[in-house]
Amino acid sequence: MAPEDLPEGATGALRTAPRVCPLCEATCGLTLTIEGTRVTGARGDRDDVFSRGFICPKGASFGELDADPDRLTGPLVRGEDGELREAGWEEAFDRVAARLRPLIETYGPDCVGAVLGNPNVHTMAGGLYPPLLLAALGTRNVFTASTLDQMPKHVSSGLLFGDPLAIPVPDLDRTDHLLLLGANPLESNGSLCTAPDFPGKLRALRARGGTLTVVDPRRTRTARLADRHLAIRPGTDALLLAAIAHVLFEEKLTDPGRLTDLTEGTAEVREATAEFTPEAVAAACDLDAEDIRTLARELAAAPTAAVYGRIGSCTVEHGTLTSWLVDVLNVLTGNLDRPGGALFPLSATDRPPRTPGPGKGFALGRWTSRVGGHPEAKSELPLAALAEEIRTPGEGRVRAVVAVAANPVLSAPDGDGLDRALAGLDFMVSVDPYLNETSRHADVVLPPPPPSRSPHFDFAFNALAVRNQVRYTPAAVPLEDGRPDESEILARLVLAAAGMHGASPELVDEGVIDRTLARAVADPHSPVHGRDPRDLSARLTGRTGPERRLDLMLRLGPYGAGFGPDADTAPDEGADGADAASGTEGSTAPGTPEGLTLERLLAHPHGIDLGPLRPRLPALLRTRSGRIELLPAPIAADLPRLRAALAARPAALVLVGRRHLRSNNSWMHNVPALTGGSNRCTLQIHPADAARLGIADGAQVRITADGGAVEAPAEITDAVRTGVVSLPHGWGHDRPGTRTTVASARPGVNVNQLLDGTRLDPLSGTAVLNGFPVTLTPLTADAPPGSMRT
């Protein structure tokens, strides 16, 4: 039930509402219990078409997180005295407009650094407005959490398939064999693979006789579930995967099947991997050569198999090469784009399928960053380079920052450096519910309402889901009077950036609708070709601009049927449209003449299942050749760096991160229900290393690396391999001027202070957050001896 539909006076009553959980990529359906306007409980929604009742401790704490008393309830604006004070919304937007536009007009668009953080992929507004904001700003200084995360995958997909957003996901429900590298879905609940109850799916894989191999320097909860765990030396997965490719070629185990004709460059990959024999990589990876051969043979022999890599395969020295090799193996074994292998989802808001053929391809390095000369990737520059762009004088210097859902002071390398740089900006605006390590530098903080008061649609994760499905949950609790939702906040920022401050935010949405319809009616392949855009716009349903935009995307998407047949003017086009939608790539949904619409979706509050993943090649390929380009030139040019790694002497001790089930990056340490227990900022170290270095369990240790030093208590455990220590990220809540009471009481330390921002994967600009050298100094040598934890 939508809050607007509540009978008069019912607002104090106990009721329930469905809500897709925005707290991780699994996108579970929740049933919220609501008393008045307060969420008092959350349980798994058993009727949810995708998650079927699954929930984790974070989802169960939705109410506490939603009602966190430290959430900002209104804007903050910096006064003449330099202090942030509470202000009204009009004053706040006036301030943004008054400061941002003149800077752009004086110094040009590149003087604004746009910084987009992770929660943008978890909010409906974050899916709809950032592209418009970037267009309005017109800046090339765009930095997002992607360059601390999955940019290597975008780059490898862009190069292999011509589309950086075409990311294959392992077919978890049907695969016979999963080779999982650098991911710990039992804690993270999965990433670039949206699967509610990932743990259950892994157990089901094993129960049906399938095989799970986990490659991770730590014996994680996921590794413990596996048939085989390879405790690889961090940063060397590309070598391992290259060696597996080598064995496939050497032992004539490659079998691309129907991909053979769709792929070029296979012979070149064979040549490129010739010297990466298992014997050659074994020492660098610290793995047994025979184990690598076995892995290759099993991968080839499995009826179906999927190779899947995540954070530990991306935020490393050879992140793009590793991401590329993951899909090279999927191609060589014939598992790409086949059920049980790795498939491309088709989400309800994807572009509809096109005719196969050559595309525009994917270019890297079309421009470079001003100071470091870092090449752009996907129109982004490395977030690790933001600080130098702010502090280095000269033309094109970043003087203002617009940050949306981003906390780079904790999430990016060298937080102290960035902290100082942000303090010197001419102007900063932050869209963030918290006054935290980053937003404390803003001149204006614009807080979005809590998730219970926000509608939800997963634009990003439906395109990464292990099953095609679509769900929309309107806000469960009405907004307070006069408080804008995040869509309105971002739309008003777009207007301010475009020099249209004061105009109605609805103009932003209607502008998008008009432009989209104008394109669609002119496109001969569109189901609405030749129709009257004003008529179509008038037919859109939805109570708000974002809902009308969603309706439009659903109708024009692969499960939509345009606007149904147009009885007056163009019956033929209408019928064609319906046909196209239910063609090869379609699903069960478009069976009705209308296809998918917002109205239909609203009639299914627990979602609509769109069926298992289906093959999508060659239609989705957008390379210049129209085929899979297995050895793209930029990859070939980076291979010498990997060859050099064969001979490199490994560092004695390197650091990797870890995630805790009850945490999320930097912003969930403020909820008492999610703190304490094993969710602590400790340095995990193997007993042998601890003994060698004279470190006792619980002893305070100084950790030193390129970017500086931090101190944390040691936790001795053989769950990390020797030569590796682990410190989680997102901690370091001890800076003044923040308002995160619970987090600040147990601040932990910022692992990213160990980095100076110079270690990057060169092709993607992604920071190397895993596998960098550190040295340790015990500070309290005779701390009370603790028992060894495993």
Ligand X SMILES: Nc1nc2c(c(=O)[nH]1)N[C@H]1C(S)=C(S)[C@@H](COP(=O)(O)OP(=O)(O)OC[C@H]3O[C@@H](n4cnc5c(=O)[nH]c(N)nc54)[C@H](O)[C@@H]3O)O[C@H]1N2
| Site residues (vs ligand X, CB under 6 A) | 24-25, 117-119, 123, 145, 148-149, 181-185, 187-189, 191, 215-218, 220, 232, 234-235, 237, 310-312, 316, 404-408, 411, 431-434, 436, 448, 486, 656-661, 663-667, 729-730, 751-752, 769-771
Binding segment for ligand SF4 (CB under 6 A), chosen from 19-27, 553-561, 651-659, 773-781, is 19-27
* Contact partner at residue 468 from Mo ion, ligand X, ligand SF4, none, CB < 5 to 8 Å by partner kind: none
Closer to ligand X by CB, 218 or 549: give it. 218
Buried b (16+ CB within 10 A) or exposed e, 254-286: bebeebeebbebbeebbebbeebbbebbbebbb
Least distance (Å) from ligand SF4 to the CB of residue 23? 4
Instruction: Considering the complex, state which of residue 149 and residue 237 has its C-beta at the smaller distance from Mo ion.
Output: 149
CB of 286 vs ligand X, minimal distance in Å:
11
Decide the pairing of beta strands 724-726 and 683-685: antiparallel
Minimum gap (Å) between residue 786 Cβ and ligand X = 22
Binding site partner of 408, from ligand SF4, Mo ion, ligand X, none, Cβ cut-off 5-8 A by kind: ligand X
Using CB under 6 A as the binding criterion, the count of chain residues that bind ligand SF4 stands at 12
Site for ligand SF4 (CB under 6 A): which residue of 17, 18, 19, 21?
21
Q: Map residue 360 onto helix, strand or coil.
A: coil
Residue 28 touches which of ligand SF4, ligand X, Mo ion, none (CB < 5 to 8 A by kind)? Answer: ligand SF4
Q: Cα(400)–Cα(659) distance, rounded to whole angstroms? A: 32
3-state secondary structure of 620: coil
Burial state string for 13-51 with b = 16 or more CB within 10 A and e = fewer than 16 = eeebbbbbbbbbbbbbbbbbbbeebebeebebbeebbbb
Among Mo ion, ligand X, ligand SF4, none, what binds residue 26 when CB lies within 5 to 8 Å by partner kind?
A: ligand SF4
Which one, 21 or 490, has the nearer CB to ligand SF4?
Answer: 21
- Using the minimum distance from each CB to ligand X, give the nearer residue, 216 or 585: 216
Is the distance from CB of 768 to CB of 759 less than 8 angstroms? yes
Q: Least distance (Å) from ligand SF4 to the CB of residue 196? A: 6
Distance CA(552)–CA(541), nearest Å, equals: 9
**Cβ-based nearer residue to ligand SF4, 19 or 531:** 19
Looking at beta carbons, which residue is closest to ligand X? 312
In the complex with ligand SF4, which residue's Cβ is closer, 56 or 418?
A: 56
Cα–Cα distance between 124 and 568 in angstroms, integer? 35
Nearer to Mo ion, 66 or 149 (CB): 149
Question: What is the Cα–Cα distance from 373 to 368, expressed in whole angstroms?
Answer: 5
Question: What, of Mo ion, ligand SF4, ligand X, none, does residue 181 touch, CB below 5 to 8 Å by kind?
Answer: ligand X
Rg value, the chain, Cα: 26
Q: Using CA atoms of 428, 431, 432, 433 in order, give the dihedral in degrees to the nearest 10.
A: 130
Q: Is 566 in the site for Mo ion (CB under 5 A)?
A: no
* Distance of alpha carbon 451 from alpha carbon 479, whole angstroms: 11
Q: Which amino acid makes up residue 516?
A: T
Please choose which of Mo ion, ligand SF4, ligand X, none residue 477 contacts, taking the beta carbon within 5 to 8 angstroms, the exact cut-off set by kind.
none
| Residue among 377 and 556 whose Cβ is closer to ligand X | 377
State which residue, 562 or 771, has the beta carbon closest to ligand X: 771
The partner in contact with residue 21, picked from Mo ion, ligand SF4, ligand X, none with C-beta cut-offs of 5 to 8 angstroms by kind, is ligand SF4
**End-to-end Cα distance, the chain:** 47
Helix %, strand %, coil % of the chain (to 5) = 35, 20, 45
Task: State in angstroms the smallest separation of the CB of 372 from ligand X.
Answer: 19
Residue 138 region by backbone torsions, left for phi larger than 0, else alpha for psi between -120 and 50, else beta: left
Residue 176: partners with Cβ closer than 8 Å, 6 or more residues away:
209, 210, 211, 302, 303, 304, 305, 340
Site string for Mo ion, 148-177 (x = CB under 5 A): -x----------------------------
Smallest separation, CB 740 to ligand X (Å): 9
27 binding partner (options ligand X, ligand SF4, Mo ion, none; Cβ < 5 to 8 Å by kind): ligand SF4
Within 22-81, which residues bind ligand SF4 (CB under 6 A)?
A: 23-24, 26-28, 55-56, 58-59
Distance CA 539, CA 551 (A): 10
* Nearby residues of 259 by Cβ (< 8 Å), 6 or more positions away: 331, 334, 336, 337, 617, 628
Q: Which residue type, as a one-letter code, is found at position 18?
A: P
Distance separating alpha carbons of residues 724 and 713, to the nearest angstrom: 16
Residue at 647: amino acid letter:
A
Residue 23 binds which entry of Mo ion, ligand X, ligand SF4, none, CB below 5-8 Å type-dependent? ligand SF4
- Window of 145-153, 285-293, 364-372, 573-581 that interacts with Mo ion by CB under 5 A: 145-153
Applying CB under 5 A, which residues contact Mo ion? 149
Applying CB under 6 A, which residues contact ligand SF4? 21, 23-24, 26-28, 55-56, 58-59, 189, 196
